[in-house]
Amino acid sequence: MKEKFWRWLDGSREYLEDASDMDETPYREREEVKTQIRERNDSLDKRRGTRAVIRAEEKGFRLLYSWVAVISAIFLIGVLLYVVSYLPRYGQENPQTTLVARRYLEDGVRETGAINAVAGMILDYRAFDTLGESHVLFTALVCVMILLEKDRKNMRRGYEDYYRITGEGFYTPNRDGIMQAAGFVLLPSILLFGIYILLNGQNGPGGGFSGGTVLGSGLIIFTMAFGFDTVDRIASRRLLKGVTVVALGFYSFAKGYVFFTGANGLESHIPKGTPGAILSGGLILPLDIAVGLVVACTMFGFYSLFRRGSIGGKGKACSGKKAGTGAGTKAEGKDNA
């Protein structure tokens, strides 16, 4: 129990200790690592007494650990329920605390030019938070690219056999007749609907995030029906990256301009327009379009990364002879089988 406690405190996972030497790990074969771990465990057992004692101690610690976990979870649930019971009921809030929300709802149309109060709130009153939020999405895209995009480090030697079963058209999903017919019928309406949602963010439910999601799913359906080769001709890697950079850059600088003029008491010269018209709500419409494009690119980027390990066309690392190798191909193999 003591051992386990210290290991818990130290956060060390001994069974991986040997798999962790800085230089070798990525290239060592799995079986070799397993053998080493087994050998190490055996030597540990010899040094620290019999296996049975350790087992019993670990079992004791695990029992204690899970009991403490369960009790603290129950305690936290109880506390939260108790706290919630003292929160003000719906409609009976202190009028002072609804001051902010009231102005958003009552003066929103006049001050932001948007009939949709949510759009006015997130893209005008509290635009700074939304600026951060759209970059959260971009950060997620970068993290997924780091994880899944194929490069020399995550293409293992063990997977190179897949080179044989992969050709140029390997990433093309099965050209399924039903899928193609459905895509042929559905796609125009999906894209049109996405654009409608995107452009109407200031007047009704919708806006950049939801419209972009619909557009992105349209692109994904298109890929499923007609394959990556077709899509890459339209949405190449350069185009997707370019659109993301331009849209987010426009967002940052447009909003930065508004913040700057607002804070310094300058006139921003951005017309609010007539509430209800398509061209209304000041910057809300262009920002919605920017956010929508970023969301669509991100959605498609995620799909493409998970499916074939690169965004829009072949990445640097997998061009040329190495095309079609990589960890991602394992799933592909099953898919096509």
Partner 1 sequence: MDIIRNFPLFTIILSLFSGVLCLVLDAKAARRYTLGYEGVILCLCGAVFWYAVRTGRAVTYVCGEFPAPWGNELRFGVLEAMMACGFIAVLICCVVAGGRYILQDIDESKINLYYALINLLTAALMAIVWTNDVFTGYVFLEILTLTSCGILIVREIGRTTLAAVRYMILNLMGSGLFLLGLVLLYDVTGNLLMVPMQEEIAQLMAQPHTAMVVTMATGILTMGLAIKSGLFPFHYWMPDAYGWATPTSGAIMSSLVSKCYIFLLFKIYYRAIGIEVFARMPIRYLLLALGMCGIIFGSVSALRAENINHMAAFSSAAQIGYIYMGLGLGGESGYAAAMFHILAHAVTKSLIFLTTPRLAEASGNSLRFRALQGSALRDRGAGMFFTVGALSMIGIPVFAGFSSKLLVAMAAADTGKGALMLSVILVLAVSAVLNAQYFIRTLIRIFGDSEDTADKTAYFREDFILPMAALTGMNLALGLFSWLFTDLIRMGLGMFG
Which region among 19-27, 57-65, 199-207, 212-220 touches partner 1 (by CB under 8 A)? 19-27
Length of the chain (residues): 337
Does residue 131 bind partner 1 (CB under 8 A)? yes
Do residues 162 and 76 touch, judged by C-beta distance below 8 A? no
Does residue 94 bind partner 1 (CB under 8 A)? yes
Hey, which residues between 167 and 186 contact partner 1 (CB under 8 A)?
A: none
| Residue 330 structure tokens | 């394992």
Which region among 149-157, 169-177, 188-196, 219-227 touches partner 1 (by CB under 8 A)? 149-157
CA distance 44 to 67: 28
Does residue 188 bind partner 1 (CB under 8 A)? no
Q: By C-alpha distance, which of 220, 218, 225 is closest to 187? A: 218
Q: By C-alpha distance, which of 286, 66, 87 is closest to 198? A: 286
Do residues 295 and 212 touch, judged by C-beta distance below 8 A? yes
CA distance 12 to 25: 17
Which region among 50-58, 130-138, 159-167, 224-232 touches partner 1 (by CB under 8 A)? 130-138
Among 77, 245, 278, 279, binds partner 1 (CB under 8 A): 245
Among 132, 158, 167, 169, binds partner 1 (CB under 8 A): 132
Please, which residue, 28 or 180, has the CB nearer to partner 1? 28
Distances, alpha carbon 191 to alpha carbons 40, 202, 219, 260, 321, in Å: 58, 19, 8, 36, 36
SS (H, E, C) 285-307: HHHHHHHHHHHHHHHHHHHHHHH
Do residues 112 and 282 touch, judged by C-beta distance below 8 A? yes
Does residue 31 bind partner 1 (CB under 8 A)? no
Task: Give min distance, CB of 172 to partner 1, in A.
Answer: 23
Does residue 1 bind partner 1 (CB under 8 A)? no
Task: Give min distance, CB of 126 to partner 1, in A.
Answer: 6
Hey, which residues between 54 and 93 contact partner 1 (CB under 8 A)?
A: 79-80, 82-83, 86-88, 93
Does residue 37 bind partner 1 (CB under 8 A)? no
Q: Inter-axis angle of helices 284-308 and 127-148, to 10 degrees?
A: 20
Among 118, 145, 179, 323, binds partner 1 (CB under 8 A): 145
Please, which residue, 35 or 189, has the CB nearer to partner 1? 35
Among 39, 42, 106, 129, binds partner 1 (CB under 8 A): 129
Among 103, 167, 169, 331, binds partner 1 (CB under 8 A): 103
Does residue 248 bind partner 1 (CB under 8 A)? yes
Which region among 10-18, 52-60, 163-171, 192-200 touches partner 1 (by CB under 8 A)? 10-18
- Helices (H) then strands (E): counts for the chain: 13, 0
CA distance 232 to 313: 6
